Amino acid sequence: MKTGVLGDFLLCSNTAKCLYDKYAKEMPIFDYHSHVDVTEIYKDRHFENITQLWLEHDHYKWRLMRLCGVDEFYITGDAEDRDKFLKFAEILPLCIGNPVYLWCHMELKKYFGFDGVLDEKTAPGVWSLCENELKKPQFSVRNIIRSSDVTFVGTTDDPCDTLQWHKKLRDEDIGFTVAPTFRPDLYLNIEKPQFCDALDKLSNASGVAVDGIKTLKCALRKRMNYFAACGCISADHGCDYIAFEEPSDGQADKILKKAMSGGCLSDNEIAIFKTLMTLFCADQYAELGWVMQIHYNCIRNPNEFAYKSLGTDKGFDCIRRGGTGEDLSRLIDKMSIKKRPKLILYSLDGTDDAFLDTLVGSFACGEPFGRIMHGAAWWFNDTCRGISNHLHSMSSLGVLGNFTGMLTDSRSFLSYVRHDYFRRILCLHVANMMDSGQYLAGVERAGEIIKNISYCNAEKFFGMESVT
DSSP secondary structure, 363-420, as one string: T--SSGGGGEEEPPP-GGG-SHHHHHHHHHHHHHHS-GGG--------S-TTTTHHHH
Please say whether the beta carbons of 210 and 160 come within 8 A.
Answer: no
Read off the pLDDT of each residue in 187-201 and give the average, rounded to a whole number.
97
Checking if the pLDDT of 2 tops 60, the result is no
Residue-level pLDDT at 325: 87
For residue 165, give Cα distances in angstroms to 35, 118, 329, 405: 15, 36, 38, 28
Checking if the pLDDT of 338 tops 90, the result is no
Q: What pLDDT, in 10s, does the model give residues 399-425? A: 999 999 999 999 999 999 999 999 999
Please say whether the beta carbons of 178 and 164 come within 8 A.
Answer: no
Q: Tell me which residue of 314, 315, 323 sits closest to 347, measured CA to CA.
A: 323
What does the angle CA 349 – CA 351 – CA 355 come to, to the nearest 5 degrees? 105
Instruction: Return the SS3 of 205.
Output: helix
Read off the pLDDT of each residue in 369-379 and give the average, rounded to a whole number.
88
Q: What share of the chain in percent tops pLDDT 70?
A: 97
Please say whether the beta carbons of 231 and 460 come within 8 A.
Answer: no
Q: Which amino acid is at 38?
A: V
Measured between alpha carbons, how far is 457 from 455 in angstroms, rounded to an integer? Answer: 6
Please say whether the beta carbons of 6 and 101 come within 8 A.
Answer: no
Read off the pLDDT of each residue in 335-357 and give the average, rounded to a whole number.
91
**Alpha helices, DSSP H, located in 35-158:** 38-42, 50-54, 59-67, 81-91, 99-112, 123-133, 141-147
Residue 385 CB contacts under 8 Å (≥ 6 apart), including other chains: none
Residue 350 CB contacts under 8 Å (≥ 6 apart), including other chains: 319, 377, 380, 381, 386, 389, 390
- What does the mean pLDDT of the chain come to? 95
Please say whether the beta carbons of 195 and 189 come within 8 A.
Answer: yes
Q: Tell me which residue of 275, 285, 292, 277 sits closest to 210, measured CA to CA.
A: 277
- Consecutive H or E run containing 288: helix 267-288
Measured between alpha carbons, how far is 285 from 278 in angstroms, rounded to an integer? Answer: 10
Instruction: Return the SS3 of 309.
Output: helix
Read off the pLDDT of each residue in 49-62 and give the average, rounded to a whole number.
95
Q: What pLDDT, in 10s, does the model give residues 76-134? A: 999 999 999 999 999 999 999 999 999 999 999 999 999 999 999 999 999 999 999 99
Residue-level pLDDT at 371: 85
Checking if the pLDDT of 6 tops 90, the result is no
Measured between alpha carbons, how far is 205 from 280 in angstroms, rounded to an integer? Answer: 20
Tell me the whole-structure pTM to 2 decimals.
Answer: 0.95
Residue-level pLDDT at 467: 76
What helix, strand, coil percent values describe the chain, rounded to 5? 55, 10, 40
Measured between alpha carbons, how far is 40 from 47 in angstroms, rounded to an integer? Answer: 10
Q: What count of residues does the chain have? A: 468
Checking if the pLDDT of 1 tops 90, the result is no
Q: What pLDDT, in 10s, does the model give residues 221-231? A: 999 999 999 99
Please say whether the beta carbons of 445 and 38 come within 8 A.
Answer: no
What is the pLDDT confidence band of residue 370, given thresholds at 50, 70 and 90? Answer: low
Sheet holding 291-296, edge to edge: 181-182, 234-238, 291-296, 342-347, 372-374
For residue 407, give Cα distances in angstroms to 56, 116, 185, 378, 379: 20, 27, 20, 8, 10
Please say whether the beta carbons of 108 and 114 come within 8 A.
Answer: yes
Residue-level pLDDT at 365: 80
Q: What share of the chain in percent tops pLDDT 90?
A: 93
A 10 A CB-CB count for 318 gives 14
User: Comparing 468 with 235, which gets the higher pLDDT?
Assistant: 235
Q: Which of 26-35, 253-262, 356-365 has the lowest mean pLDDT?
A: 356-365
Q: Which of 124-128, 310-314, 344-348, 424-428 has the lowest mean pLDDT?
A: 310-314
DSSP one-letter code for 178: E
Q: What are phi and psi of 166, to 5 degrees?
A: -60, -45
Please say whether the beta carbons of 416 and 148 come within 8 A.
Answer: yes
Residue 408 CB contacts under 8 Å (≥ 6 apart), including other chains: 31, 33, 34, 415, 416, 418, 419
